[in-house]
Structure 1
Amino acid sequence: MSKILQQNGTPGVNGISVIHTQAHASGLQQVPQLVPAGPGGGGKAVPPSKQSKKSSHMDGNSDEYSQCRERNNMALKNSQLKSRQKAQDTLQRVNQLKEENERLEAKIKLLTKELSVLKDLFLEHAHNLADNVQSSSTENMTNFDNAGQ
């Protein structure tokens, strides 16, 4: 899309060269790229087991690569499915707990009202009982006073 006006290769660290590029006058610049310095030039040593895996995976047309990608895609789909299922289960549990909480709060209100009514009945009964005891003791005293005269 833009033409490269200038490329400068500068030696880098550990045998890696950095290519700096400048783009066309439109102001766009390409991102610097890291490239190996040369076939025998430094860099990190890679174990042979990893080299063979990388080389077989690099060939996008190989059957092994296709199978590996297919297995990876299936694993990803399974993981996403489990994640969605777990989120749905959690949401369902949250809704159940909310409903249970509302039901328990309603029960608390009902029991609180019932307790209040029972307290009032008890106090009224105790008050009536106390009034009866007082009036009967007053009557007894009056009868006692009348009998003594």
Structure 2
Amino acid sequence: MSKTSPQPPSAEANGVSVIYTQAHSSGLQQVPQLVPVSPAGGGKAVPPSRQGKKSSFVDRNSDEYRQRRERNNMAVKKSRLKSKQKAQDTLQRVNQLKEENERLEAKIKLLTKELSVLKDLFLEHAHNLADNVQPVGTEPPTANPDSSGQ
């Protein structure tokens, strides 16, 4: 938690005033913070990420600039190639999965037909067995020589 100290801001220089804040609640250390001051008294503060950057002119003919541009161009090419390769790999994987899916669907059809044929054979066999089996307690008519014609 930072609290603004009761000290008045220091003198303004280049449109920036310094405000002292306490870094810790114990109040042992004061840390200056730069706050932009506009003529109207308000305004937007500069983001911390932009405060440390130089806004000086860059010489486009300098060796440092050309080296930075070359490194950046190489990084961009590398990034684009990597992205392109990833897209190609993904497309190849999609095609492989489609082919595998087609093979598996064909196998499902074949196995379904085989199952249907086996079910029909089983049911036919079970029906034939049921016709040949006599219920318990009934005897089949046999030719008995003793009981014939008397």
Query: Which category of TM-score, normalised to the shorter sequence, fits these structures?
Result: 0.5 to 0.7
Which structure 2 residue ranges, 5 or more long, are not aligned?
1-12, 17-35, 37-45
Aligned-residue Cα RMSD (Å) equals 2.9
Spell out, residue by residue over 1:62-94, the C-alpha distance to the aligned partner (whole angstroms, 9 max, x if none): 110110011001000000000000010001101
Which structure 1 residue ranges, 5 or more long, are not aligned?
1-38
Map of 2:65 onto structure 1 = 65
Aligned residue type for 2:140: M
Map of 1:142 onto structure 2 = 141
Runs of 4+ in structure 1 off by over 6 angstroms are none
**SS of equivalent residue, structure 2 residue 142:** helix
User: What is the CA-CA distance between 1:148 and the residue it aligns to?
Assistant: 7.2
User: What is the CA-CA distance between 1:104 and the residue it aligns to?
Assistant: 0.3
Paired residues, what number?
103
Q: Map of 1:106-125 to 2, 5 A cutoff?
A: 106-125=106-125
1:40 to 14, 21, 25: 14
Aligned residue type for 1:66: R
User: What is the CA-CA distance between 1:109 and the residue it aligns to?
Assistant: 0.7
Looking at structure 2, the residues matched to 148 and 41 of structure 1 have their Cα atoms a distance apart, in angstroms, of: 138
Q: What's the TM-score once normalised by structure 2's chain length? A: 0.59
Identical aligned residues as a percent: 72
Looking at structure 2, the residues matched to 122 and 100 of structure 1 have their Cα atoms a distance apart, in angstroms, of: 32
The verdict on how the C-alpha distance between 1:82 and 1:105 changes in structure 2, with shifts beyond 3 A counting, is: same
Map of 1:25 onto structure 2 = none
Looking at structure 2, the residues matched to 142 and 124 of structure 1 have their Cα atoms a distance apart, in angstroms, of: 27
The verdict on how the C-alpha distance between 1:128 and 1:147 changes in structure 2, with shifts beyond 3 A counting, is: farther
Aligned residue type for 2:104: L
User: What is the CA-CA distance between 1:128 and the residue it aligns to?
Assistant: 1.1
Q: Map of 1:1-149 to 2, 5 A cutoff?
A: 40-42=14-16, 43=36, 44=46, 46-47=51-52, 50-51=53-54, 54-55=55-56, 58-134=58-134, 140-143=139-142, 146=144, 149=147
**SS of equivalent residue, structure 1 residue 55:** coil
Map of 2:39 onto structure 1 = none
